Amino acid sequence: MPQLDIYIAMSQVFWFTIFFLIFYIVVVRDILPVLARSIKLRKKKVSGAASGSLDDEVTIITGQTAKTLEGSLKDSRILLAEVSAESSSWLDSSMKDANDNTLLGINKIYIQTIGELKGRSFLIEDAIKQK
């Protein structure tokens, strides 16, 4: 039976152990401290004695967050204005360069080809009318 084959079973046990150890480390290092902190905060809030200190902490953190967001917003606006100006000038120069170098030659060739085709069709129509 392949389920009881020693080579397959040992491989499965090895990978199960690796997966379990990684999962255990993630839970102990990342998830449990967050849960413990949350439980402690709930206990403080329920007790009522520390209610005033939590409110003070909330106002301090709210003020710091507002200052940080305001600074970030100002920096973002400045950066966005600079990028917009640079990209606009780049786009204008690229369009002018493309129009001057590439499209002007292509347009001349296009007009010349249309003229030749129109001339040929005129000559063919004239030859048909003469017959």
Residue 20, in any domain of the structure: yes
The CA distance from 131 to 124, in Å, is: 11
10 pLDDT more than 60: yes
Domains of the chain: total = 1
Which pLDDT belongs to residue 80? 94
Contact 45, 54 (CB under 8 A): yes
Q: How confident is the model at residue 19 (pLDDT cuts 50, 70, 90)?
A: very high
Residue 79, in any domain of the structure: no
Residue 102, in any domain of the structure: no
Residue 35, in any domain of the structure: yes
Residue 43, in any domain of the structure: yes
Q: What is the mean pLDDT of residues 51-69?
A: 84
Least Cα distance to 52 among 60, 1, 94 occurs for 60
Domain span including residue 8: 1-47
Name the strand (E) or helix (H) holding 66. Answer: helix 51-97
Least Cα distance to 45 among 64, 32, 58 occurs for 58
Instruction: Report pTM.
Output: 0.38
Residue 129, in any domain of the structure: no
